A and B are shown apart, each in its own frame.
Chain A
Amino acid sequence: MSATTIATGRLPVAKRSALAKEFNDGRAMIGRNLIAYKRVPQLLVFSTIQPVIFVLMFTYVFGGAIAGALPPGVPYVDYLMPGIFVQTVVFGSLAAGVGLATDLKSGLLERFASLPVTRSSVLVGRTGADLGRNIFVVILMFIVGTIVGFRVHTNVFGLLGSMALVVYFGFALSWIFATLGLAVKDPETAQAAAFPILAPLVFASVAFVPATSMPGWLQPWANNQPVSSVVLAARALVLGGPTAHYVFWALFWCTVVLVIFVPLGVRTYRRAI
């Protein structure tokens, strides 16, 4: 790599292609956000403890009651785990909003805006770091699940496909909450605003229980809303049975979210500073 002098006294500039520059900026931003998980391990511990408790509680407390409503030959833990994967990344996606609102308040985003960095790299740095964290957390959940009896009915590709779909969904959601965080400009507000959006998506879904146990008016929502679509696809990939239809809808939702919220997020970022 060669360097160029652009002004007297200024340190030489690294000569990079536009793509290499994008890569440099994005990697630097992702790196700084990931370091937070190393320095403040509580962030990671608290975001993993809750799903672990859910796995144990649902499996041992509700498992017996729900067993009757499940397809024959499917133990509750096998039914539950894909739902837990999805629930984990959904609540984890909040971090993007809280993180960006915090950076905005601290003046860091103002500093970034005065530096020759790609505009999108601030958002890519945040959502990319969350993607990395989600990969880690989903693998951890798989291990915890396996310990309490979770078994994959299909094969390793089904499992990897299921996990990939879940983290892709988490990535898409990160962009929603990144946009939200930059719009409300305050970490506490970002957190508070997210829960009413997330609760009906996560709990009025087929993540933990089949829709057949819900009242009739709720079933169409519970079967077709985005979180359920992803849960159904992730579940089909590890339990077998018809898969293509579910995967199509899951990918459809993820893509719709990204198509809307990537440009909207970048726009909100520009206006937020």
Chain B
Amino acid sequence: MPTTAVRVSGLTKKFGEVQALAGIDFEIPEGTIFGLLGPNGAGKTTAVRILATVHRPDAGTAEVLGYDVVNDAHEVRMRIGLAGQYAAVDPNLTGRENLRLMGRLAQVEPSYIPPRADELLHSFDLVDAGDRPVRTYSGGMRRRLDVAASLVQKPPVLFLDEPTTGLDLQSRQELWNTIRNLVREGTTVILTTQYLEEADQLADDLIVIDHGKIIAQGTAGELKRNLGGTVIELTMAEDADVDKAVSLVGAVVGTEPERQGSLLRMPSPDGSHLLTEMLRRLDDGGVQPTGVALREPSLDDVFLALTGHAAEEEEAAANGRGNGQAKGGRKGRRS
């Protein structure tokens, strides 16, 4: 029977006027990947920071491997690794020195540290750069080192706050593989992301957070099924075509498509079948779309479906949150 790695109950946290978390509950079984999905300012980072003992909750409880994050913070810290939102490595130290420093601070028995640092430099493709100051690294290299630094002590529970932000496609996929391997070895991974695809690729279970509340819970597949699967987008050349297309397409789908200027968007529960039918009708009606796209629902679609508002609207809330100055100033990597 699987044991519980993380148990969260009634967690709330307020920064000034902003309610970052408004009472969330969830449980994560050991050895699984758990995704926290949501837009900027939704409360994902706050949840992770509380679990990683960086912040204290205002109310509610959180346990990691049976230890309370407030009362047994030290025991929690001995068992977790955290890669926060910003590549938190010392720019003046080399990659190797950074890893060794983190190992030392994680209280790892000294003889284990140098071989572990070498191993991580190897698996994160940083061997050549290992003895160069991090100042000289590219953004992607820094990010990889940051994730590596959270793994030095081989933590049983790992928190990754938007780990693939700023990584190119290849690095992203390599990191996904690394995460899968960690879980295979028994690590529990808690991952925040703004990308449904990432949660889809990795997470066994996920929650969607908005305004500090859980608005949906389940597997990525379940969430997408609720959304109606893939989305079709059609771009029209002329306004007259748009009106005509709306009625033609509407007849196929059964509901009126969402309209944004010359763009039509509609859910497509059975994937490409509907698209073929739609294009034939448009062709019969003498309307030629200039662009056709069939894509997986994005986080925006999830948000639109779940909350009735788009994810970008959350930006304003995100900017007003917590110690805004420090957060707003940090690298500006979040879009």
Q: Give the B-binding residues of A (Cβ under 8 A).
A: 1, 3, 6-14, 16, 21, 24-25, 28, 31-32, 35-36, 39-40, 104-108, 110-117, 185-186, 272-273
B327 to A: closest C-beta gap in Å = 9
- Give Cα distance in the complex from A114 to B109, angstroms: 18
The reply to whether the CB of B255 lies closer than 8 angstroms to some CB of chain A is no
- Give Cα distance in the complex from A28 to B90, angstroms: 13
Q: A31: nearest residue on chain B (CB-CB)? A: B101
Whether the pair A116, B85 counts as a contact (CB closer than 8 A) is no
B91 to A: closest C-beta gap in Å = 8
The reply to whether the CB of B325 lies closer than 8 angstroms to some CB of chain A is yes
A130 to B: closest C-beta gap in Å = 15
- Give Cα distance in the complex from A21 to B106, angstroms: 11
A102 to B: closest C-beta gap in Å = 9
Interchain residue pairs A-B with the least CB separation, the first 9: A107-B88, A107-B86, A3-B109, A114-B82, A116-B77, A36-B92, A114-B52, A111-B88, A12-B109
Contacts of B89 in A (CB 8 A): 108
Contacts of A11 in B (CB 8 A): 103, 106, 108-109, 112, 116, 152-154
Q: A102: nearest residue on chain B (CB-CB)? A: B91
- Give Cα distance in the complex from A112 to B91, angstroms: 15
- Give Cα distance in the complex from A185 to B109, angstroms: 34
Q: Given that A9-B156, A40-B92 are known contacts, is A116 also in contact with B330, CB under 8 Å in the complex?
A: no
B150 to A: closest C-beta gap in Å = 8
Whether the pair A13, B54 counts as a contact (CB closer than 8 A) is no
Whether the pair B79, A6 counts as a contact (CB closer than 8 A) is yes
Contacts of A107 in B (CB 8 A): 84-88, 330
Contacts of B234 in A (CB 8 A): none
Whether the pair A7, B79 counts as a contact (CB closer than 8 A) is yes
B189 to A: closest C-beta gap in Å = 13
Chain B 315-332: CB-based contact to A (< 8 A → 1; otherwise 0): 000000001011001100
Interface centre among B116, B149, B153, B185 (most CB of A within 10 A): B153
Whether the pair B133, A39 counts as a contact (CB closer than 8 A) is yes
Whether the pair B85, A12 counts as a contact (CB closer than 8 A) is no
Contacts of A21 in B (CB 8 A): 107
Q: A104: nearest residue on chain B (CB-CB)? A: B326
The reply to whether the CB of B105 lies closer than 8 angstroms to some CB of chain A is yes
B72 to A: closest C-beta gap in Å = 11
The reply to whether the CB of B274 lies closer than 8 angstroms to some CB of chain A is no
Interface centre among A31, A111, A185 (most CB of B within 10 A): A111
The reply to whether the CB of B110 lies closer than 8 angstroms to some CB of chain A is yes
Q: Given that A106-B86, A107-B84 are known contacts, is A28 also in contact with B105, CB under 8 Å in the complex?
A: yes
Whether the pair A105, B326 counts as a contact (CB closer than 8 A) is yes
Whether the pair B109, A13 counts as a contact (CB closer than 8 A) is yes
Q: Given that A39-B92, A104-B326 are known contacts, is A112 also in contact with B105, CB under 8 Å in the complex?
A: yes
Whether the pair B154, A9 counts as a contact (CB closer than 8 A) is yes
A36 to B: closest C-beta gap in Å = 4
Interface centre among B79, B112, B152, B326 (most CB of A within 10 A): B326
- Give Cα distance in the complex from A104 to B89, angstroms: 11
Report the tally of A-B residue pairs with Cβ distances under 8 A.
129
Q: Given that A28-B101, A28-B104, A106-B86 are known contacts, is A8 also in contact with B156, CB under 8 Å in the complex?
A: yes
Chain B 51-65: CB-based contact to A (< 8 A → 1; otherwise 0): 011110000000001
Whether the pair B49, A110 counts as a contact (CB closer than 8 A) is yes
Q: B55: nearest residue on chain A (CB-CB)? A: A273
Whether the pair A13, B78 counts as a contact (CB closer than 8 A) is yes
Interface centre among B93, B109, B152, B330 (most CB of A within 10 A): B109
A214 to B: closest C-beta gap in Å = 40
Contacts of B133 in A (CB 8 A): 39
- Give Cα distance in the complex from A106 to B89, angstroms: 8
The reply to whether the CB of B187 lies closer than 8 angstroms to some CB of chain A is yes
B137 to A: closest C-beta gap in Å = 13
Contact partner, A114, options B54, B65, B90, B325, Cβ 8 Å: B54
Q: B135: nearest residue on chain A (CB-CB)? A: A39
Q: Given that A7-B156, A116-B74 are known contacts, is A13 also in contact with B80, CB under 8 Å in the complex?
A: no
Contacts of B159 in A (CB 8 A): 114
Chain B 27-55: CB-based contact to A (< 8 A → 1; otherwise 0): 00000000000000000000001001111
The reply to whether the CB of B97 lies closer than 8 angstroms to some CB of chain A is yes
Q: B323: nearest residue on chain A (CB-CB)? A: A185
Whether the pair A32, B330 counts as a contact (CB closer than 8 A) is no
B113 to A: closest C-beta gap in Å = 8
The reply to whether the CB of B102 lies closer than 8 angstroms to some CB of chain A is yes
Contacts of B116 in A (CB 8 A): 11
Q: Given that A110-B88, A114-B82, A116-B74 are known contacts, is A9 also in contact with B185, CB under 8 Å in the complex?
A: yes
The reply to whether the CB of B155 lies closer than 8 angstroms to some CB of chain A is yes
Whether the pair A12, B92 counts as a contact (CB closer than 8 A) is no
Known: A39-B93, A106-B88. 10 other contacts (CB 8 A): A11-B116, A14-B110, A35-B93, A106-B86, A106-B91, A114-B53, A115-B106, A116-B105, A185-B325, A272-B326
Q: B88: nearest residue on chain A (CB-CB)? A: A107
- Give Cα distance in the complex from A185 to B325, angstroms: 8
- Give Cα distance in the complex from A105 to B331, angstroms: 9
- Give Cα distance in the complex from A107 to B79, angstroms: 20
Whether the pair B90, A108 counts as a contact (CB closer than 8 A) is yes
Give 27 A-B contacts (CB < 8 Å), ordered by A residue: A3-B109, A3-B112, A9-B156, A9-B185, A10-B154, A11-B153, A28-B101, A28-B105, A32-B90, A32-B93, A32-B97, A32-B101, A35-B93, A35-B97, A39-B135, A40-B92, A104-B326, A105-B329, A106-B88, A107-B87, A110-B49, A114-B52, A114-B159, A115-B105, A115-B106, A116-B78, A273-B54
Whether the pair A35, B88 counts as a contact (CB closer than 8 A) is no
